[in-house]
């Protein structure tokens, strides 16, 4: 037979007996069965593992909040998964540019190891972080990337940022003891929970919502819901470790439903002391090291709460957000609790702040927003799933975790 | 005696286990001796040489590789500080295309090439049985996966040692490990990369049982490798991507974290195992039921 001729036709022709044909077909059941078993395993194992919320003694919301406050975890290491879905329009590279421009505060020294520049990446998508802490003086936070890693290491008075992708390091020294210097950006569930609990007042309902298993540990679920209408925040759920009182998972869902806007939780956690070498960093040979220039600049530099990923976390947070905008005009806060709206008078006539610089970009941004008018005049509303912002044509900016109507109302009232 | 009975007798025949080893050895020797295989290995060995020389020339003036912007294959910026990183860069550079292409050529040729050349029936005349022959062919392809990866790694290690300093190295997490541990991790990475090719090898072997043309089988396998990697890049298909064999390939870089981040590595190995079982058994179903006429 010719070597290149296909045997398929021959095969079919010679299978006269149905029995042998069936036997042949039966062999294909093996790969099919393997696929079936694999699919079942992938589908069922997580469901089985998740079933059965742990049985824990009853606890009141007040007790649980006290438990969080008393929690004093000094040593831990673990992996945190952070997913952010603000529903920002997908601008690709442009988004990065805008965000770093907005968050950088004009520092722009171009080092890719600069924590401020790096951590704005957390604003969208899913990221895996590693955290390790050993007392107040030694912490490490690593952002795992594909084939690379960005580490922020705080060891005593040194704060190092190291970007393995570009092999660049960033160094700053913390003034005094490391205690008051927040080198850690808010990324762990505990950071988020602290911020959320600050917002708890009479406008909020706090309940204990059963138990859950997080990172293999038994946890209580604390549910925080705004009582006011007009806010875009649906609920905040915090899973608190039953033993240590440390928040293990933080989920913020918008009122509009759908996926969580922010979901940060440990996937793996250990309360043992991390190896000392974890916090030991010397820049590798050949790495470009950027030194922080002076303390005054350090204040502007260090990632504070005004950092982009955290803008809309909680209403109280608006104040920090406003802090970040300092210099553009005196920000004021209208309203209280969840419906508070931050107002900034940019003084720039003509609406969009970018309009004066480039008509194209201004027009482009305008097309992303929605034109509204009211007693305050005319303006453009930019919406995300959590934060809405109104930029009026006379240069005022109103922003908050409130609905569009509430924003317009606030603007009207302020007029 | 019907054909099915012949099949039964064929696959069920007892043979001396040492005979299988002899078959494996002769298969290995045949595969490695082929000009085609030697050329593939030569190309693989040349990649680290090219990367090493390019980085050396670019950084001669004291600049950093990749323009300092972090472009290019993983780890490329660290090569100048430590030649050992050339091993990781070379593997990261060859894993997406060169290595699977080489494996696709060898795996695609395994059965279809014999059939095309008319030698398959002579192999089956020997009292080995089809299942055993298929297992031997698969073992040969797997051995080639390991050989190809080691060729890249060893070539990169030699070039790295000649062109760049060696010594204590910094992991991508910023911690330092000794050179001996670095070498250990390099070996581990080479093994993981070789294991990452197990899925492609099984896929190639299955394709190889479908046709009698070696060229068609090779082209199909290499085409599938490319297609799957393109699909892996399309964001709209993200629900599908965790099941593509190439999805976790670059997870070998997680071995350079400190502590090692195992999640994706375990997923990668599990996925490769799954592909091996699914396509291995599909190849078995096809090959043992196939009418060998050439």
Distance to chain B for A156, nearest Cα, Å: 16
Q: Is B233 on the interface with A (CB under 8 A)?
A: no
* CATH 3.30.310 at A325-414, yes or no: yes
Q: What is the mean pLDDT of residues A313-321?
A: 40
Give the residue with greater pLDDT, A105 vs A209: A209
- A235 contacts: CB under 8 Å, gap ≥ 6: A223, A224, A225, A252, A253
Strand pairing class (A288-291; A168-173): parallel
Closest chain A residue to B166 measured between Cα atoms?
A285
Tell me the C-alpha distance between B281 and B293, whole Å.
22
- For A61-301, CATH gives 2.50.20.10
Q: Are A253 and A234 spatial neighbours (Cβ–Cβ below 8 Å)?
A: yes
Q: Is B252 part of a structural domain of the chain?
A: yes
Per-residue pLDDT averaged across A25-33, rounded?
85
Kindly tell me the sign of the dihedral angle through the C-alpha atoms of A20, A25, A28, A33: negative
Give the whole-angstrom CA distance, residue A69 versus residue A62: 11
In chain A, residues 169-198 whose CB comes closer than 8 Å to chain B: none
Residues of chain A with Cβ-Cβ distance to B116 below 8 Å are 3-4
In the predicted model, what is the mean pLDDT of residues B98-113? Answer: 93
Question: Is the model's pLDDT at B243 over the cut of 80?
Answer: yes
Pairing of strands A288-291, A138-145: unpaired
Average pLDDT over residues B174-193: 92
Would you say residue B126 lies in a domain? Answer: yes
**Which of A13, A46, A284, A289 to mutate against chain B (most B CBs within 10 Å)?**
A284
User: What is the pTM for the complete model shown?
Assistant: 0.76
Q: Residue B13 phi/psi, 5° resolution?
A: -65, 135
Cβ(A410)–Cβ(A402) under 8 Å? yes
Q: Tell me, yes or no, if B147 comes closer than 8 A to chain A by beta carbon.
A: no
For the segment A308-326, the average pLDDT, to the nearest whole number, is 39
Residue B294 lies in a domain: no
Q: Tell me whether domains A61-301 and A325-414 share a fold.
A: no
Count the domains in chain B. Answer: 1
Q: What separation in angstroms does the CA of A89 have from each of A356, A362, A365, B19, B128?
A: 23, 16, 11, 65, 62
Query: Over the stretch A376-414, which tens digit does the pLDDT of each residue have?
Result: 778 888 888 888 888 888 778 888 888 888 888 888 877
What are the structure tokens assigned to A89, written together? 């329009």
B287 within 8 A of B134, measured Cβ to Cβ: yes
The residue-averaged pLDDT of A71-88 equals 84
Supply the ipTM of this predicted assembly: 0.77
Per-domain boundaries in chain A = 61-301, 325-414
Answer yes or no: is B47 within a domain: yes
**What per-residue confidence (pLDDT) applies to B39?**
94
| Structural domain harbouring B139 | 3-289
Instruction: Dig out the tokens for A100 from the structure.
Output: 């770093």
């Amino acid at each position: 037979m010719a070597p290149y001729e296909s045997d398929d036709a021959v095969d079919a022709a010679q299978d006269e007996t149905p029995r042998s044909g069936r036997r042949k077909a039966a062999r294909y059941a093996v790969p099919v069965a393997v696929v079936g078993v694999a699919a079942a395993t992938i589908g069922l194992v997580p469901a089985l593992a998740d079933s059965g919320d742990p049985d824990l003694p009853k606890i009141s919301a007040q007790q649980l909040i006290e438990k969080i406050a008393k929690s004093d975890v000094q040593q831990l290491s673990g992996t945190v998964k952070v997913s952010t879905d603000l529903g920002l329009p997908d601008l690709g590279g442009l988004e990065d540019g805008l965000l770093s421009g907005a968050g950088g505060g004009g520092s722009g020294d171009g080092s890719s190891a600069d924590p401020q520049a790096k951590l704005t990446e957390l604003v969208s998508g899913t990221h895996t972080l590693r955290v390790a802490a050993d007392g107040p003086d030694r912490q490490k936070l690593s952002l795992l990337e594909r084939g690379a890693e960005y580490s922020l290491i705080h060891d005593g008075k040194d704060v190092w940022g190291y970007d393995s992708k570009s092999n660049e390091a960033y160094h700053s020294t913390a003034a005094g003891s490391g205690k008051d210097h927040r080198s850690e950006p808010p990324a762990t569930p505990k950071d988020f929970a602290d911020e959320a609990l600050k917002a708890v007042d009479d406008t909020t309902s706090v309940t204990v919502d059963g138990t859950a298993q997080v990172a293999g540990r038994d946890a209580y679920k604390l549910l925080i819901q705004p009582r006011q209408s007009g806010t875009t925040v649906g609920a905040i759920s915090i899973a608190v470790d039953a033993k240590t009182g440390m928040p293990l998972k933080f989920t913020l869902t918008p009122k509009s439903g759908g996926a969580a806007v922010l979901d940060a939780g440990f996937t793996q956690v250990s309360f043992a002391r991390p190896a000392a070498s974890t916090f030991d960093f010397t820049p590798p040979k050949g790495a470009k090291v950027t030194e922080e220039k002076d303390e005054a600049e350090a204040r502007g530099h260090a990632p504070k709460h005004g950092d982009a990923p955290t803008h809309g976390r909680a209403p109280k947070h608006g104040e920090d957000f406003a802090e970040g905008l300092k210099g553009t005009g005196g920000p004021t806060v209208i309203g209280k609790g969840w419906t508070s709206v931050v107002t900034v008078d940019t003084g720039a006539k003509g609406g969009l702040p970018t309009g004066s610089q480039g008509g194209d970009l201004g027009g482009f941004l305008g097309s992303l927003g929605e034109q509204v008018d009211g007693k305050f005049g005319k303006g453009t509303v930019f919406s995300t799933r959590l934060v809405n912002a109104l930029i009026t044509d006379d240069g005022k900016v109103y922003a908050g975790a409130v609905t569009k109507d509430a924003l317009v109302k606030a603007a009207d009232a302020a007029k | 005696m019907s054909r099915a009975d012949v099949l039964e007798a064929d696959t069920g025949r007892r043979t001396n286990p040492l005979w299988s080893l002899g078959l494996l050895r002769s298969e290995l020797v045949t595969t490695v001796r082929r000009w085609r295989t030697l050329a593939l290995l030569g190309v693989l060995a040349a990649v680290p040489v090219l990367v090493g020389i390019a980085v050396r020339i670019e950084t001669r003036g004291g600049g950093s590789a990749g323009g300092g912007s972090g472009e290019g294959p993983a780890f490329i910026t660290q090569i100048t500080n430590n030649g050992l990183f050339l091993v990781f860069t070379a593997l990261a550079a060859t894993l997406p295309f060169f290595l699977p292409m080489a494996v696709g050529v060898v795996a695609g040729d395994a059965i279809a090439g014999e059939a095309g050349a008319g030698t398959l029936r002579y192999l089956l005349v020997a009292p080995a049985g089809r299942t055993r022959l298929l297992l031997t062919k698969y073992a040969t392809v797997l051995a080639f996966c390991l050989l190809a990866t080691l060729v890249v790694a060893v070539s990169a290690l030699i070039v790295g040692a000649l062109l760049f300093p060696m010594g204590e190295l910094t992991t991508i997490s910023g911690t330092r490990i000794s050179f001996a541990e670095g070498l250990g991790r390099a070996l581990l990475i080479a093994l993981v990369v070789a294991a990452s090719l197990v899925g492609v090898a099984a896929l190639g072997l299955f394709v190889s049982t479908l046709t009698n043309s070696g060229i068609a089988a090779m082209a199909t396998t290499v085409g599938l490798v490319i297609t799957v990697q393109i699909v892996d890049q399309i964001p709209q298909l993200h629900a599908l991507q965790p099941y593509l064999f190439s999805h976790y390939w670059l997870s070998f870089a997680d071995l350079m974290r400190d502590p090692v981040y195992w999640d994706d590595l375990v997923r990668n190995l599990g996925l490769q195992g799954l592909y091996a079982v699914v396509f291995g058994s599909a190849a078995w179903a096809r090959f043992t039921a196939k009418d060998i006429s050439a």
